[in-house]
Amino acid sequence: AALPSLLACLAVLLLGRARPGDACSCSPIHPQQAFCNADVVIRAKAISAKEVDSGNDIYGNPIKRIQYEIKQIKMFKGPDKDIEFIYTAPSTAVCGRLLDTGGKKEYLIAGKSEGNGKMHITLCDLVSTWDSLSPTQKKSLNQRYQMGCECKISRCLSIPCFVSSSDECLWTDWAMEKTNVDGRQAKHYACIKRSDGSCAWYRGMAPPKQEFLDIEDP
């Protein structure tokens, strides 16, 4: 469900400017999905921002983007080269993601690589302040999320809902906590592939055992 929304965002981005009625909407996505979908996942601070030209649209009009100069603190996923610049559209109406500059606020940022120390983010990508993440989320960035990238996390909109295959984990935060998608499963669980090829939710601060039956607590 996230892919059509992302494609819609990109379609608006290609126009290079917002028109009356344009808007950017994103489907909820579990942070593990955002991690697995991203080319680059980093912890970083935004140092400065400026508007830059990025070619022309199909009508010959200049495309503007915001260029953030960043200080990378840690890379969880991505190329060998540190990320120096992050690009995004100039407003949220065209899927731009605004960051506080000045180097005081730390972010977890997931997005697409543009090569040569550059990446691109949209409003649909995972961008969270580091302090807002749970201890389990921070721990999962190092290995656990990657262990479940072959699994499928399906959003449950209303109870009851059921898995359709053994490699699927049901994400019920939306159904159980109504409009809160940053709920218990998002903050404390990861969907891990087990030794028999099936997938299941895992909770715990320690690395998962090679085989586990179900959810484990710290």
95 annotated to a ligand binding site: no
132 contact partners, CB below 8 Å, separation of at least 6:
none
Q: How far from 78 is each of 6, 67, 104, CA to CA, in Å?
A: 20, 19, 24
Distance CA 98, CA 94 (A): 12
Kindly report the backbone phi and psi dihedral angles of residue 182, in degrees, each rounded to the nearest multiple of 5, phi listed first.
-100, 55
Distance CA 29, CA 1 (A): 9
Distance CA 61, CA 72 (A): 33
* CA Rg value for the chain: 18
Are 87 and 59 spatial neighbours (Cβ–Cβ below 8 Å)? no
Binding residue positions: 24
Q: Annotated binding residues for Zn(2+), as ranges? A: 24
